[in-house]
Amino acid sequence: MKNSKKKKALDIKKVIGKAKNEKGEFLEFLKEYNIIQLTIAVVVGSAVKELVSSLANNIIMPFVGILTPSGAWRDISFMIMGAEFKLGLFLSSFLDFMIVALVVFVVLKKILKVEIKK
């Protein structure tokens, strides 16, 4: 019975030692591959995308609506053999993408210019 208790105690120590080793490897992985920075970049990138989309939808797109005759350019669609093609929604997504891409390009260009100067 005492042997059984000792064996269980040794097994627990092995498990704890292995867990500490795994924790160290995991932390090393996080540091080596800059996972924390990547996570922050994804979160900030998502927030920037929302901000730029809001700029596009609430500031820029109303001007596009003024330039179109009916003002409802997102509702433009056409039918071919019973299939509806929503051209307005596609153009809206395309313009949104182009605006986001332009903002990212300008910001990255400024950041890389600063890094090159250092």
Domain presence at residue 71:
yes
Q: Residue 79 region, left (φ>0) first, then alpha (ψ -120 to 50), else beta?
A: beta
Domain presence at residue 59:
yes
User: Would you state the structure tokens that stand for residue 37, as one six-digit string?
Assistant: 């920075």
Greater model confidence, 7 or 44: 44
pLDDT (tens digit per residue) in 34-93: 877 888 888 888 888 888 778 878 888 788 778 777 767 778 888 999 999 998 889 888
- Name the residue range of residue 58's domain: 53-117
Rounded to whole angstroms, how far apart are CA atoms 89 and 66?
Answer: 17
In this structure, how many other beta carbons lie within 10 angstroms of the beta carbon of residue 25?
10
What average pLDDT does the segment 92-106 reach? 83
In this structure, how many other beta carbons lie within 10 angstroms of the beta carbon of residue 52?
19
Number of structural domains (the chain) is: 1
Domain presence at residue 75:
yes
Helix and strand counts by DSSP (H, E) for the chain: 4, 2
